[in-house]
Amino acid sequence: MVRRFRLISLLSVSSLALFFLASLGKSTEPFSVWDEIYKSAWAGIYTDGQAVRGESFYRARCATCHGMSLEGSEDAPPLSGRDFVFDWNCANIADLFEKIQFTMPANRPGGLNEQQVAEVLSYILKVNRFPAGTNALSQNVDDLRGLMFLAVNPHP
């Protein structure tokens, strides 16, 4: 009886602790609990090949507004650098994918197929110094919901 009581209180203490950690994770330190649930964009989530194809696509279809080096222009915000990565900090990669898929290019939204979106997104990740890996970035947006865009590498 005593033992069982201990077990129960131990369980509730640990779930409380987890809850506490999780709420802490949201406000001050987003990397403790969350990086076990989500995989971050620092884990090598696209291939070099995708980024190379994405680069030529970017130059043809995005650079007029967002600039040759993603620096932005009078017509469009930058897609690289501090402001960009902190704007998207803790967002889901799927959100960024859909932002491009449904609203870009701004003068002809919805004109890109999934492969083009995945490749141009890979290129944007590369320019922002997220490393390439061996697995391709999925063209299926539902596969991307567990991937988190983090401005700062949680495991440098």
Q: What is the CA radius of gyration of the chain?
A: 19
79 is written with which tokens? 């897609």
| Shortest Cβ 105–ligand HEC spacing (Å) | 3
| Shortest Cβ 150–ligand HEC spacing (Å) | 15
Who contacts 11 (Cβ-Cβ below 8 Å, separation ≥6)? none
Query: For 39, how many CA atoms within 13 A lie in the half-sphere containing its CB?
Result: 12
| 51 interacts with ligand HEC by CB under 6 A | no
Among 43, 52, 76, 90, binds ligand HEC (CB under 6 A): 76
Closest to ligand HEC by CB, 35 vs 95, is: 95
| 127 interacts with ligand HEC by CB under 6 A | no
| 143 interacts with ligand HEC by CB under 6 A | no
Residues 68, 62 contacting (CB under 8 angstroms): no
| 105 interacts with ligand HEC by CB under 6 A | yes
